[in-house]
Structure 1
Amino acid sequence: MEPTEDDNNYKYGVFYYNEDDARIIVPKRIKYLGWTLNFAHPVSYLIMGGILAIVIGAIIFAPAK
């Protein structure tokens, strides 16, 4: 069985967390739905923080109409 298919590797049923999996970006349980982060790796938090910084920066610095 693929590690991403094991329910024990998910926190709250949503966040993939597997310290034994060396991958940072892993396929979702249902493969055609895309990819997710392995939150057992600190790099995944940097990626998530970068995405949030871009979104928040776009909201703050977007020109007002």
Structure 2
Amino acid sequence: MEEDEDHWKLGIFYYNKDDKRLFPPKRNKFLGWTVNFANPYSILAMFLVITVFIFVVESIKKM
């Protein structure tokens, strides 16, 4: 599924309504996973990742 060019927007954003996975593998499976932006939970997942990243950075700054 993730190999189909029609499901990759601008070549980097995976958007496939038929694929229910939130984190499908990237085109090159050795590079990890990407987010399926057609999944309704994708925005929440990205928000959580960014929030955790900011929290970690701010915690390190205070050390």
Q: What TM-score do the two structures reach when normalised by structure 1?
A: 0.82
Aligned partner of 1:56 in structure 2 is 54
**In the alignment, which residue of structure 2 is the partner of 1:20?**
18
Quick check: which has more Rg, 1 or 2? 1
User: How many Å apart are 1:61 and its aligned residue?
Assistant: 4.4
Percent identity, please: 44
State the shift of 1:39 in Å.
0.5
Aligned-pair RMSD on alpha carbons? 1.3
Separation in 2, partners of 1:5, 1:40: 16
2:24 counterpart SS class: strand
Paired residues, number: 62
Post-superposition, which runs of at least 4 consecutive aligned residues in structure 1 deviate over 2 A? 57-62
Structure holding more strand per residue: 1
TM-score (norm 2): 0.84
